[in-house]
Structure 1
Amino acid sequence: MEVHSNDLTTMLASVLCGALLGVEREYQNKSAGLRTIVLICLGSTIFTMISQRIGGSDDRVAANIITGIGFIGAGVIFKENFNVKGLTTAAVIWISAAIGMVIGVEEYKMGFLLSFIVLVVLGGFAKLEALIDFVNHKRTYRITFVDDKLENIDWIKDLVEEEKLNATVGHLSKSHNRLMVNFEVRGNKRHFHALTERLVSKPEILGIEH
């Protein structure tokens, strides 16, 4: 397979685009950092270049790249308590592969433009997301009561409403004459501290996780 004069330019452009995204993930201390994103972007570029050289079907190669990237992206998604983590990093892995494919067909301007747009979304939208989360924060409380009376659900919901929050009942179970209920609570974030303090002070509650 011959090495073309612009191959080095293409690979360097891919490394640079991957580095732009990887530095941001590395700065945020994410599981897929600088080296991972650069290698994903470069790998997608190389596969795209090879598919053009050997005369294969470009759409089939692209589909296989997306499938492979899906496995890598799934590896960075995990559940922590009641929250799912790693979705944004998985999305960055996915989009970095797409940028690598764009660079692979020598659309350099488009590749750098997409990298810039992704950085704007990761940086600028984070503040907007934080504001939305503050106004409409969601937290799941797993409460274990000292008994198994279903009436406990009603007074918990009343207590939540007193703190100007909204609660919906999730998973419910009974074990050893004790009731365990997941409450999904939404509302302004500044009200959650007072709610937690009131819940902790209740003798009817044996334990709280959130």
Structure 2
Amino acid sequence: MSLVPVVTHSSVLEAELLLATFVLCSLIGLERQSRQKSAGYRTHVLVGLGACSFTIVSGFGFTLVLGQEVNLDPSRIAAQVVSGIGFLGAGVIFKGGDVVRGLTTAATIWQSAAVGMACGAGMLSLAVLLTVLHLVTLYVVAPLMRRVPNADRKRVLRVTYLDGHGVLRDILALASSTGFASTIERSHRRSGAAGPTITMDIRFLGRLPVRDLVPPLMQLDGVEDIALRDAAQDDDGDGD
């Protein structure tokens, strides 16, 4: 029995789908590249083009063997693309201490694959909408979310540490490596049995709650006490 193709798919249409993938994933990749992320323009474009190609092959690459006695499931290769992208995304996620970095970049790689698969399936309107919503989320919604007030903006950490041992430098370095920006509000020097100490109010702002910064700070040599306080709380008579 001769095998008769039941689905036709022109090379022109394939080129159009790949071109659409290239343009849309370029927009996604440029956003990551401009932020100097580990996975930038090339990664996202290549992921999108690969996902698009796999989807085209999955849906239209086996037409020569189709017949009455041959049934193919075009979703099988596409399903494996989703699994494979998960491993690639995991490669850009880094965890250091209590800080996890790269989640957004991993999500954009996943998004690029989705855009490529949508293009490969001929669903260009879906691919365009995915890209638009992705860019709106990162360029419009994300900056607005950073302006939303949170409790940490009204709090300071009152840190007491030994003077003259470089403790403040260690405190600020640890906060910076954990993703916090630091602002020194006020300080007061006292004499103690172990030597002079500094009591300093420091405002820390970051993606994590400031309370998560307390345990690692307490482990620093020279840090004697840390208290989380309301910035509007009365000053207990400390001078500036």
Regarding TM over 0.5, the answer is yes
Deviation at 1:64, TM superposition (A): 0.6
User: What are the Cα deviations for residues 82-131 of structure 1, in whole angstroms up to 9, with x where unaligned?
Assistant: 31000000000111101111000111122112101100001112212322
Q: Distance in 1 between matches of 2:13 and 2:80?
A: 25
Counterpart among 95, 104, 118 of residue 79 in structure 1? 95
1:105 maps onto 2:112 in alignment: no
Q: State the secondary structure of the residue aligned to 1:5.
A: helix
Q: In the alignment, which of 8, 12, 17 is matched to residue 19 of structure 2? A: 12
CA distance in 2, matches of 1:24, 1:145: 38
3-state DSSP class of the match of 2:87?
helix
Determine whether 1:144 maps to 2:160: no
Match of 2:131 among 115, 125, 128: 115
> Partners in 2 of 1:89 and 1:71 — Cα distance?
13
Give the Cα separation in 1 of the matches to 2:43 and 2:35.
14
Give 1:90's aligned amino acid. A
Deviation at 1:60, TM superposition (A): 2.1
- Alignment of 1:38 with 2:45, yes or no, is yes
- Quote the Cα distance in structure 2 between the aligned partners of 1:113 and 1:145: 49
Measured after TM superposition, the shift of residue 163 of structure 1 is: 4.4
Query: Matched residue of 1:161: which SS?
Result: strand
CA distance in 2, matches of 1:145, 1:11: 54
* Cα separation, 2, equivalents of 1:13 and 1:83: 36
1:70 is the counterpart of 2:86:
yes
Counting matched residue pairs gives: 158
Please, which runs of 5 or more residues in structure 2 have no aligned partner? 1-7, 64-71, 153-204
Shift of 1:5: 2.1
2:20 maps to amino acid: A
Taking the aligned partners of 1:119 and 1:51, their CA distance within structure 2 comes to 28
Paired residue secondary structure (2:95): strand
CA distance in 2, matches of 1:61, 1:37: 20
> Could you say which structure has the larger radius of gyration?
2
Alpha carbons 2:25, 2:45 under 8 Å: kept: yes
What amino acid is the match of 1:144?
Q
Percent identical residues: 35
Q: Which residue of 2 aligns with 1:192?
A: none
User: Which residue does the alignment assign to 1:168?
Assistant: none
Counterpart CA distance in 1 for 2:87 and 2:31 is 22
Letter in 2 for 1:161: R
> Secondary structure at the residue paired with 1:70?
helix
The question of 1:128 aligning with 2:203 is answered no
Please state whether the residue corresponding to 2:11 is helix, strand or coil.
coil
Higher helix share: 1
Give yes or no for contact 2:85–2:109 (8 Å, CA) kept in 1. yes
2:73 and 2:26 map into 1 onto residues whose CA distance is 29
Mapped to 1, the partners of 2:230 and 2:9 lie a distance apart of 73
TM (normalized to structure 1)? Answer: 0.66
Equivalent residue for 1:160, pick from 211, 228, 231 = 228
Deviation digits for residues 48-103 of structure 1 (CA, Å, limit 9, x no counterpart) = 00011226423322221111000010000002343100000000011110111100
Distance across 1 between alignment mates of 2:230 and 2:109 = 43
Which 5+ residue runs of structure 1 have no aligned equivalent? 166-197, 199-210
Off by >6 Å, runs of 4+ in structure 1: none
Q: What does residue 181 of structure 2 align with?
A: none
Distance 1:127 1:4, change over 3 A: same
